[in-house]
Structure 1
Amino acid sequence: MLDGIDRKEFERSAANAAQLLKALANHRRLMMLCALADGERSVGELASEVGLGQSALSQHLARLRKLGILAARRDAQSVYYRVADPSAARLLETLAAIFCPPRAKRANGAAAGPRAPRPGKTKSAAGTGAANGRRSVRSG
């Protein structure tokens, strides 16, 4: 899967990759970045979209800005944020492609990407004898 990757170069970049993944590993920060992936937002708009209070939102924004993932600009009384790190933007696009179906598909009831099976549950096809991951062959 990683054929053609310069492993030494990847090792030099691994700390940066881990730092980005760690920032995205927080549910609230991930939702903030998903909102910002659609374009610049003011702090007020972002707070409303992700359902965070001003204090918690400010802490997350400060962390993402410090990591260079976000950039901010002031316009009069408002501060606007945008995704500044191209690597973060690409990663968000990849996550969206995997976990978020296009809006048209969602309206038709399509699944929202791959799901892990529930513990202790297996899918079985009606009439095939597929239970607990085993198939039985019927002769007949």
Structure 2
Amino acid sequence: MDAQSKRDFKNSLFGEFARIGKAMASDRRLEIIDLLAQAERSVEELATETSQSVANTSQHLKVLRQAHLVETRRDGTFIRYRLADERVTRLWLMLREVGETRLAEVGRLVDTYLVDRGKLQGIDARELKRRLKDGNTVLLDVRPTVEYQAGHIAGARSIPIGELAGRLKELPKDKTIIAYCRGSYCVFADEAAALLSSRGFQAYRLDGGFPDWKIAGGAVTQTLRVENYGGKLHA
């Protein structure tokens, strides 16, 4: 291979890799990836979750599809979107980790907006595994039901955060309650732990969320099964 051929090869190769970076170079598209790491969704659902119009959301999804970061399947009259595979989730979590490590602004934003987090007791995944073995812990998934059904930490119970206040009688006060949600910047688990603590429960929030647990190799359970491209959801 002569010098020009080598240069052409590298230009083309790195240009292809740059497609991934360009597709992820948007705060809204990163938020979409974060949501799809929980469960597949329609464009309308993603638009609602990200406070965008359907048209804008569709454009962002088009960019992600062109970079092969998301895939689609037809569900009746709807098109549902999902991440292409777990490597996309890993890529997002690694980007988040690098941002937390290298960008001081991330820490300042957390301190500014998640001011109550410092009052809550958090536990990491290793501690959670230890506590689940002792039989004195209830693990609570406070994400929306559809996300729980798409996949959850093995042994977790589902009580979405919006229903928790009305379902406290379902939880034992003689056991420790550990709440988890979507990830480090989701406040559902914070709200759950604060509510439970105020009602006399011994409650903690899990540092990280379901995608972190899954990618780390933790045991998971899926209530709904998604078949291959073009398949359907099954209970």
TM-score computed with the length of structure 2 as normaliser:
0.36
Contact 1:68 1:85 in 2 (8 A): no
1:80 shift after superposition:
0.8
Could you say which residue in structure 2 is the equivalent of 1:26? Answer: 26
Match of residue 53 from structure 1: 53
State the 1:13 CA deviation: 4.7
* Residue 109, structure 1, aligned to residue 118, structure 2: yes
Alpha-carbon distance between aligned partners in 2 of 1:109 and 1:78, rounded to the nearest angstrom: 42
**Which portions of structure 1, spanning 4 or more consecutive aligned residues, are displaced by more than 6 angstroms?**
none
Residue identity in the other structure for 1:41 = R
Name 1:79's counterpart in structure 2: 79
Q: How many residues align?
A: 98
The DSSP-based 3-state class of the residue aligned with 1:38 is coil
- The higher radius of gyration belongs to 1
| CA distance in 2: counterparts of 1:60 and 1:36, whole angstroms | 13
Higher relative contact order (CA 8 A, sep 6+): 2
Question: Structure 1 stretches of 5 or more lacking a match?
Answer: 1-10, 114-140
Name the structure where helix makes up a greater proportion of residues.
2
Q: Is the 8 A contact 1:74 1:80 kept in 2?
A: yes
CA RMSD of aligned residues (A): 2.9
1:20 shift after superposition: 0.7
Query: 1:57 deviation in Å?
Result: 0.8
CA contact (8 A) 1:71 1:83 kept: yes
Partner of 2:96: 96
Q: Deviation of residue 87 (structure 1)?
A: 4.2
Counterpart secondary structure, 1:14: helix
Following TM superposition, by how much is the alpha carbon of 1:63 offset from its aligned partner in structure 2, in angstroms?
Answer: 1.7
Aligned residue in 1 for 2:39: 39
Mapped partners of 1:13, 1:56: distance in 2: 30
Q: Which amino acid aligns with 2:57?
A: L
Residue 58 (structure 1) shift:
0.9
**CA shift for structure 1 position 84:** 0.5
Q: Percent identity?
A: 35
Tell me the CA shift for residue 86 of structure 1: 4.8
Q: Which residue is 2:219 aligned to?
A: none
Contact 1:37 1:92 (8 Å CA) reproduced: no
Go from structure 1 to structure 2 and tell me whether the alpha carbon gap of 1:96 and 1:109 turns closer, same or farther (over 3 Å shift): farther
Q: 2: CA distance between counterparts of 1:89 and 1:33?
A: 8
How many Å apart are 1:85 and its aligned residue? 5.0
Distance in 2 separating the partners of 1:13 and 1:108: 44
Q: Measure, in 2, the Cα distance between the counterparts of 1:32 and 1:67.
A: 14
Q: Decide whether the 8 Å contact of 1:83 with 1:89 is kept in 2.
A: yes
Helix, strand or coil at the partner of 1:82: strand
2:67 corresponds in structure 1 to 67
Describe the SS at the equivalent of 1:72.
strand
CA distance 1:77–1:109, change in 2 (3 Å): farther
